[in-house]
């Protein structure tokens, strides 16, 4: 996937769900993975021509794993002229040494988001962008169906009233396969995850299930995504298809 195509998908999401308004200060949550680095490129590119002017910053919550070097991300942000902050935490130590969690994902996500949102507010940002793509949205819907018994997925835009902060997901129309292609084409400085349970989660199960369903029933993935967009899911904002404002 070329940058132009990425920007087209990103603008589609931003326009249709009115994710960015004039004067916004958007923080990109950077994990160091392919998704968040692609999002950084997307919003940096969008910022150059989007009619509603906004500021852009980047932030990483360092979970505290040993030998995790964010130096390449620092250099990328310097090259793009995007302010970048790394927040040091002891989350990894708490999860795996103090609490010895066997299923740490939920608690890790909660602690990581708490640290991220607090730092985002300190930076003066009113919005934070998460790098969830189309596959993430579909996988979350399947997990909700299988393990919660409800048709649900996270929203393209969510206002957190306790934090006075809005979460946006500008890559919601981007396929993971395109992110992988973008990563290789532009040689993104990916920081490999040090999490010991990476690749052994329920989300990985859902990812493999989506691939299997789409292989057996061609187009199933796109139909599931369409069902989500048209599903009147509670908490989702109004959609404005073909919006350019």
DSSP symbols for 67-117: T---HHHHHHHHHHT--EEEEE--HHHIIIIIS--SS-HHHHHHHHHHHHH
Q: What is the pLDDT of residue 97?
A: 83
Q: What is the pLDDT of residue 234?
A: 92
CA 84 centroid distance within chain: 17
Task: Name the pTM for this structure.
Answer: 0.93
Q: Which of 5, 16, 33 is nearest to 190 (CA)?
A: 33
Tens place of pLDDT for every residue, the chain, 245 residues? 899 999 999 999 999 999 999 999 999 999 999 999 999 999 999 999 999 999 999 999 998 888 788 999 999 999 999 999 999 998 888 888 888 877 788 888 899 999 999 999 999 999 999 999 999 999 999 999 999 999 999 999 999 999 999 999 999 999 999 999 999 999 999 998 777 776 667 888 999 999 999 999 999 999 999 999 999 999 999 999 877 65
Q: What is the pLDDT of residue 228?
A: 97
Structure tokens at 239: 């959609």
Q: What is the pLDDT of residue 203?
A: 86
Report the relative pairing of strands 165-168 and 127-129 from DSSP bridges. parallel
- Residue entry with tokens 């988001």: 113
How many whole angstroms separate alpha carbon 84 and alpha carbon 158?
23
Q: What is the pLDDT of residue 152?
A: 96
Report the relative pairing of strands 157-160 and 165-168 from DSSP bridges. antiparallel
- Cβ atoms of 73 and 34 within 8 Å: the answer is no
Q: What is the pLDDT of residue 138?
A: 98
How many whole angstroms separate alpha carbon 81 and alpha carbon 75?
10
For residue 8, the surrounding DSSP H or E stretch is: helix 3-16
């Amino acid at each position: 996937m070329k940058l132009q195509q990425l920007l087209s998908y990103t603008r589609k999401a931003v326009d249709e769900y009115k994710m960015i308004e004039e004067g916004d200060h958007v923080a990109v949550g950077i994990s160091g993975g392919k998704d968040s680095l692609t999002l950084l490129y997307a919003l940096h590119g969008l910022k150059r021509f989007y009619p509603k002017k906004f500021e852009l910053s980047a932030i990483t919550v360092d979970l505290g794993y040993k030998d995790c070097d964010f130096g390449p991300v620092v250099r990328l942000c310097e090259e793009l002229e995007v302010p970048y902050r790394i927040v040091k935490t002891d989350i990894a130590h708490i999860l795996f040494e103090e609490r010895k969690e066997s299923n740490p994902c939920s608690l890790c996500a909660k602690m990581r988001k708490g640290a991220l949102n607090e730092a985002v507010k300190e930076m003066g940002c009113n919005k934070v962008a998460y790098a969830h793509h189309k596959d993430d949205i579909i996988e979350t819907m399947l997990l909700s169906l299988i393990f919660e018994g409800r048709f649900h997925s996270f929203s393209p835009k969510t206002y957190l009233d306790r934090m006075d902060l809005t979460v946006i997901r500008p890559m919601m129309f981007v396929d993971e396969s395109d992110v992988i292609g973008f990563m290789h084409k532009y040689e993104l400085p990916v920081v490999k995850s040090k999490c010991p349970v990476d690749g052994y989660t329920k989300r990985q199960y859902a990812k493999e299930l989506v691939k299997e369903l789409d292989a057996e029933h061609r187009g199933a993935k796109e139909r599931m995504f369409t069902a989500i967009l048209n599903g009147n899911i509670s908490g989702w904002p109004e959609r404005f298809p073909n919006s350019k404002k």
